[in-house]
Structure 1
């Protein structure tokens, strides 16, 4: 969890938790003080008042009951009425005080609970007791001899009242004791909670501080180890777990820098190796080129004589191409004439086809007329048969007409069939004539194209004849250039060897670092002692030797992109 926090929140985590615990402790202490104050107010303000009221009620009731006995004694002792009436008035006043105290206590108590039940019971008992006292006073005024029975009832009512008032006083005392015990328990809870919370705050603060210290030290030690490895030349990147704070970002940036430096040095090693290999191949190629230049100088003389023979052959080819061009023009004219004849043949066949179609329509009309004539003859024969002997001759004539109509229809159908066959053959001939016309047109176009090609051949032969003379001059210049190339190739071989030595020096300098992927440095160069060390059989081979040079040149050129890439990375 700590690895996901930034450095600021991570450092403020322990003080924040301690502050939260202190706030909670303050809130708890304040709540305990409020509860204790409420308990004290309940004890002092309510429970003490209830206890005082209950005690006053008991004393008032006892004083009034004692006055009842005094009144009973005075009435029996024949005291004057002037002394008895004030006593009776004082008894009633004590009863009123007791009743007012009960009412006041009932207002002070909650409507439900044991305290209210005792107050209500005491009020009922006091009502019964007052009524019994009044009965005693009335009976004592009339006849004291029978007032003893009423006095026993009053004593019983007073005993019930006194019992209830004493129970109420004991209940008020027990409730006051419970409130005092609750206040003491709250004080003990606060006295236990505050040290516990303070100890918890200290433990949590120390734990978080130790965890944050360990996390920060692990990240800083990781960065220190990476810097020590970098100073010792170890550029391998270790797998580490990163957090999200500023130290972790610094660690990631350092690892990325080491990884980039690792890739750069690995590219330098690969480029140095490619440079060494390319320079070695270049030196060997330059030596081979020097040897081949000697043999090519002699080959240029044979080439010049061959070029003269080739020029004569080219002139002969131009003359033959001119004659072929004339023959192609003649063939093109003949093909065009044949195409015109084929077009006229197609037109004629189309006209014949139209005439045949017209004859076919006429024969169809004749066939239709023959059918109608036969129908009329049949109807005439039927009418002659109805006429009896008078229509017999007419019936014979109608039969003959019907026979002629049938023969005419049969002949018309035969003619139509022949015409249809002729139309089909005419259509086939028309198609063949159209194909012949198309073929003649194609032949004419092909002959024209052949003529154009022969013209191109003739022009090319003339250009070749003029170019061969230039080639002869170029061969002479090539001989001169070949001699100059020999000296330049020797200089290039020496430069290639120097380049290879520099690549070796660069590889040794980079090899002091340990990289992720080990790249072997290039081998030291080996220079041939002389041209004779080269296999001369490869040089003296014919065109196969020249053909094998191109792949070798491609292999020599392949490392060059690595050289450019390494130079850009170094810059």
Structure 2
């Protein structure tokens, strides 16, 4: 049975056709054999019976004509007419001899003894006719002719006629037997043909039904799996193991569904990972937003401090003009400026630390974004593999090709969102770098302010002699304090931009979470 199941559909169909053809051939050969037997029987009837009967008819006719010739021979008295009838009698004798020869060559059904009796009786008739009847007739001795005819010829003719009748009856009986045998052969051949035709057609029909049911059964299993695939059910398989066309189609469909099941499972796992990564990105974005807001607040404090420094330096500049009148006031203002510078340095240092934390957080966000990008690339690759597998499945994979296209589109949207996040994180990192550089400049400037104010404090006792130089130094300090104010304002703007970027990153993370949810819903539509 396994060997039969592994045969191709075309071979199975050809086997059924060959069975029907063999039945037709057997019926034809049997019919030809029956026709040959019928022809042989007819030939036997003709050659063994009809030819013999025909030869006997010739003999009977010859005997009858010869007797008529003898009767006419005695009727006509003139010798010339008698000579004509003697010639006719001789011809009829030859006709009878030919008839006997034809009968013997046809194969008489009677024994040789009966044939010899007929020939002997005929020879007696011929002898009597030639030696006694014809001479009496030529002498016109009607009395003697009549006596010879009644006493000698009559018994011989009676015996001859009886033997011929017996032979004819035997030939008819043999012909009837041959005809009955031919009819019996026909009946037997007809029964054989009908029986063979019935059995052969039944076998061919049974084989055809068996082949059709086997093919349809395999196709129904394939159709059931295809309908399940169209409904999103990947848990079924055909289970076909035969090597014929439906079996190969079923095994290919099972392999495609298995790979499709693995692909859907991988996509589902990737969707879960993507959802977790998006949640982590959302948390990091929230932390980044909070840090940026804190930096903005501290940058505002630094701006206020720098304004205070600027006011102090301006006061120093005003006091420098009055230095010669109030050295004590200058010393007091210098000490105040030193304290303010120290506060500015402390604020700048804290701001620098916050900016460093902001850079570290942005690097973490970048790591998460790279992870999401990797997942999106894997998802896109899986979607491409699914599209290829669906294309290999042909019409059966169209439904999954649509799903694979949607998965691929979601992966592309994810890649686009992560690319936008990467750009924003790069902008944040650039802003953080600029903020760190600006804070460094602030620290340097405040350090310079501290140095200047220290110099002022230490050189208060010498300010009388060096008032002009102090005025110039105070002017420089005023300029530097203005730069500090502008730098701190820039830091505040950078911090605000960082906060806005963090908010946008948080929104992108929310979009990524939504896309991961959509992908999970799509994968959830399949049973695997």
TM over 0.5: no
Larger Rg: 1
Q: TM-score, normalised by structure 1?
A: 0.36
